[in-house]
């Protein structure tokens, strides 16, 4: 699709739809990256009061990765407002309840707290797996690269590659009990 | 208005006050001098302070815009500015913003110039530049 000189302004202010794969990506890093694109901070025409942000579709939210022991150590808190109404829940329990919640929270917190916050957040579409509705996926024209290079899992290697990997010592058959 | 013996007529003074308050006050407030004067004083204080703060706000905005423009060409804005300084280009940040918006090809050449200057001054060799895609962090489908 080409834009002539006359239609250049339409192209400049049009909303682009990006897609981001959250597979084995850090949740906080995704929040920083997506909030930039939603606010329009990646465009030279950026202005905080003019609405120049884009749409971002995040897929595979179920497969995000935490470093260290954060799935168990990280605790999300909320308060109902009543006495003894404090709710504390570990990250892995939250993730079991709603796989998109952690990413949505990270993105929402990165968007500055002003009147535009809710409007901008409506342009973020998070899905737990790769099943995206057709009316959303048809708009997508761009792919974002995640904040961290995706490491190769042991299941991705073939049996030949595993065998050809140099072994420094041969492990005893009964080294691990179970 | 109360007319005291030594106070004179304050009518004209009130008119000047009303002139200034006309556009930002409700009618009920406009007709009360004390309230109107308080609002006007507050507004003038904001104006005075805002004159200083505006400089910071514009600097932040220009920096954000330049960062965005440099990201498109895969160069850090600090490296870009350093390269321009070394090569003797004395465009200020506002001008660079305008160029990146309205003259993107000129801005692209400036990025090339900065990159080449950085390479030549640091390594002292004339090397081919790295290939750049327009719009960083993106792969067109």
DSSP state of A26: B
- Residue B20's pLDDT is what? 86
Which burial class, exposed, middle or buried, applies to B96 when counting CB atoms under 10 A from its CB (0-12, 13-18, 19+)? buried
Q: Are B137 and A143 in contact (CB under 8 A)?
A: no
Q: Do B101 and A41 touch (CB under 8 A)?
A: no
Same-domain pairing of B65 and B120 = yes
Name the one residue in this structure whose structure tokens are 């004390």: B34
Global confidence as pTM: 0.81
Q: Which residues of chain A have a Cβ shorter than 8 Å from any chain B Cβ?
A: 18, 41-48, 140-145
- How long is chain B? 141
Q: Which of A61, A56, A60 is nearest to A33 (CA)?
A: A56
Q: How far apart are CA A23 and CA B62, in angstroms?
A: 35
Q: Are A119 and A52 in contact (CB under 8 A)?
A: no
Beta-carbon contacts below 8 Å between A and B: 40
Q: What are A20's two structure tokens?
A: 């981001």
Domain that holds residue B88: 59-125
Same-domain pairing of B66 and B45 = no
Say how many domains are in chain B: 2
Same-domain pairing of B74 and B116 = yes
pLDDT in tens, A62-90: 999 999 999 999 999 999 999 999 999 99
Q: Which residue pairs, CB below 8 angstroms and at least 24 apart, start in A69-74?
A: A71/A95
pLDDT in tens, B72-130: 888 899 999 999 999 999 999 999 999 999 888 899 899 999 999 998 898 888 877 77
A37: nearest CA in chain B?
Answer: B68
Domain ranges of chain A: 3-65+99-150
ipTM: 0.80
Is residue B72 one of the residues assigned to a domain?
yes
Q: How far apart are CA A71 and CA A90, in angstroms?
A: 7
Same-domain pairing of B111 and B72 = yes
Q: Do B101 and A45 touch (CB under 8 A)?
A: yes
DSSP state of A65: B
Q: How far apart are CA B65 and CA B57, in angstroms?
A: 12
pLDDT in tens, A47-66: 999 889 999 999 999 999 99
Is residue B132 one of the residues assigned to a domain?
no
Is residue B68 one of the residues assigned to a domain?
yes
Same-domain pairing of B69 and B38 = no
CATH topology of domain A3-65+99-150: Ribosomal Protein L13p; Chain: A; (3.90.1180)
CATH of the domain at B100: 1.10.1900
Same-domain pairing of B40 and B67 = no
Is residue B36 one of the residues assigned to a domain?
yes
B94: nearest CA in chain A?
Answer: A44
Is residue B39 one of the residues assigned to a domain?
yes
Same-domain pairing of B81 and B120 = yes
Same-domain pairing of B108 and B121 = yes
Is residue B93 one of the residues assigned to a domain?
yes
CB neighbour list of residue A128: distance below 8 Å, 6 or more residues apart? A60, A61, A62, A99, A100
Q: How far apart are CA A3 and CA A11, in angstroms?
A: 7
């Amino acid at each position: 699709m080409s834009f002539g000189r006359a239609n250049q302004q339409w192209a400049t202010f049009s909303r682009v739809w990006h897609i981001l794969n959250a597979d084995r990506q850090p949740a906080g890093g995704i929040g920083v990256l997506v909030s930039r694109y939603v606010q329009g901070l990646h465009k030279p025409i950026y202005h905080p009061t003019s609405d120049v942000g884009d749409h971002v579709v995040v897929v595979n939210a179920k497969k995000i990765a935490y470093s260290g022991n954060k799935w168990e150590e990280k605790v999300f808190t909320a308060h109902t407002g009543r006495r003894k109404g404090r709710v504390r829940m570990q990250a892995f329990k939250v993730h079991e309840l709603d796989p998109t919640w952690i990413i949505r929270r990270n993105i929402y917190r990165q968007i500055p707290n002003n009147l535009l916050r809710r409007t901008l957040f409506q342009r973020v579409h998070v899905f737990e797996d790769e099943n995206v509705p057709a009316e959303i996926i048809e708009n997508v024209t761009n792919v974002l690269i995640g904040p961290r290079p995706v490491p190769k899992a042991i299941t991705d290697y073939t049996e030949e590659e595993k065998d050809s990997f140099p072994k420094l010592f041969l492990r005893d058959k009964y080294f691990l009990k179970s | 208005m109360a007319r005291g013996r030594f106070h004179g007529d304050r009518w004209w003074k009130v008119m000047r006050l009303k002139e200034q308050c006309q556009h930002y006050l409700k009618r009920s407030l406009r007709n009360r001098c004390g309230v109107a004067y308080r609002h006007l004083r507050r507004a003038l204080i904001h104006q005075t302070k805002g004159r200083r703060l505006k400089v910071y706000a514009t600097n932040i905005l220009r920096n954000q815009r330049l960062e965005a423009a440099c990201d498109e060409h895969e160069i850090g804005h600090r490296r870009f500015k350093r390269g321009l300084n070394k090569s003797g280009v004395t465009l200020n940040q506002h001008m660079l913003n305008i160029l990146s918006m309205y003259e993107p090809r000129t801005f692209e050449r400036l990025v090339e110039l900065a990159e080449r200057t950085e390479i030549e001054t640091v390594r002292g060799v004339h090397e081919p530049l790295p290939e750049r895609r327009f719009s960083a962090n993106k792969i067109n489908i």
